[in-house]
Structure 1
Amino acid sequence: MIDRQQQIDEYVATWNETDPDLRLAMIEKVWTEDGHYVDRGAEARGHAQISANIDRIHRKFPDRIYGRTSEIYHHRDRARFEWAIIDPAGRPTFGGVAYAKFGDDGRLRSIIGFFGQIPDAVR
């Protein structure tokens, strides 16, 4: 069984990788082939679309860091955690909560992101 804490932390790391080839390799490691990401502004299916969505956010919010701002709470094949995108001065640009579902092989099958209150600190 793949460690879910590690999977979420590696997922978070994909949002901070600016090299498209390295990011795609990271995504292939943590996401199932049919992985599905959705939030109020985006929907992406599969490795290439997930990577393209991250690239879109990098262009829209340059020099930002994506960070987990809470513990990871697990229940069966699901998890939830809070997150934020941080500007170069260390201030959250925006944040929210993400709900994850894992596939049978332990990789991420889906992430649903909700925007919400900006957290006080990033882990």
Structure 2
Amino acid sequence: MSDVTSTVEQYIAIWNETDAERRRALVAEVFTPDASMTDPLGSVTGHDGIDGFIGGAQAQFAGLTFSLPKAPDAHHDLARFQWYLTAPGADEPLAIGFDVVELTDGRIAKVHGFLDKIPG
């Protein structure tokens, strides 16, 4: 479980990494080359697609931080976890999501994302 927790923590760190070069290196480290990411806002494949999708979200939500409110729940090659998107100093997250990741050899092969709360 600690390996899965570490992978999910790295995944969240990618969403918070604003240095484009460092973010791209983390995407290559955490995701398989043909990984896919699908949520209500889009669907992308491969490192370029994932990096671009995350970069676009960062531009839209500049200054906000992603976090894990608790450890992921995992079995076999699957993990599920909730995440928060919060403004500095805020008591409540602006957005709450729920992701399920499929792992291959310890790397993320697929992300299935859901949005529980979005800014209105």
Query: What code does the residue aligned with 1:15 have?
Result: W
1:7 corresponds to 2:3: no
**Aligned partners of 1:47, 1:30: CA distance in 2, in Å?**
10
> What is aligned with 2:76?
76
Deviating runs (4+, > 3 A) in structure 1? Answer: none
Are the equivalent residues in 1 in contact too, given 2:82–2:99 (CA < 8 A)?
A: yes
> What is aligned with 1:115?
115
**Aligned partners of 2:34, 2:69: CA distance in 1, in Å?**
27
1:70 is displaced (CA, Å) by: 2.3
Are the equivalent residues in 1 in contact too, given 2:5–2:71 (CA < 8 A)?
A: no
**Aligned partners of 1:17, 1:77: CA distance in 2, in Å?**
25
**Aligned partners of 1:54, 1:96: CA distance in 2, in Å?**
15
Q: Percent identity?
A: 29
Matches within 5 A, 1:1-123: 3-90=3-90, 91-103=92-104, 105-117=105-117
**Aligned partners of 2:64, 2:17: CA distance in 1, in Å?**
11
> What is aligned with 1:121?
none
TM-score of the superposition, structure 2-length normalised? 0.91
Q: For structure 1, list consecutive stretches of 5 or more residues without a partner in the other structure.
A: 119-123
Q: For structure 2, list consecutive stretches of 5 or more residues without a partner in the other structure.
A: none
**Aligned partners of 1:48, 1:67: CA distance in 2, in Å?**
23
Are the equivalent residues in 1 in contact too, given 2:94–2:117 (CA < 8 A)?
A: no
TM-score of the superposition, structure 1-length normalised? 0.88
CA RMSD of aligned residues (A): 1.5
Q: Per-residue displacement from partner, 1:2-26 (whole Å, max 9, x unpaired)?
A: 9111111001100000011100100
Greater helix percent: which structure?
2
1:82 is displaced (CA, Å) by: 0.4
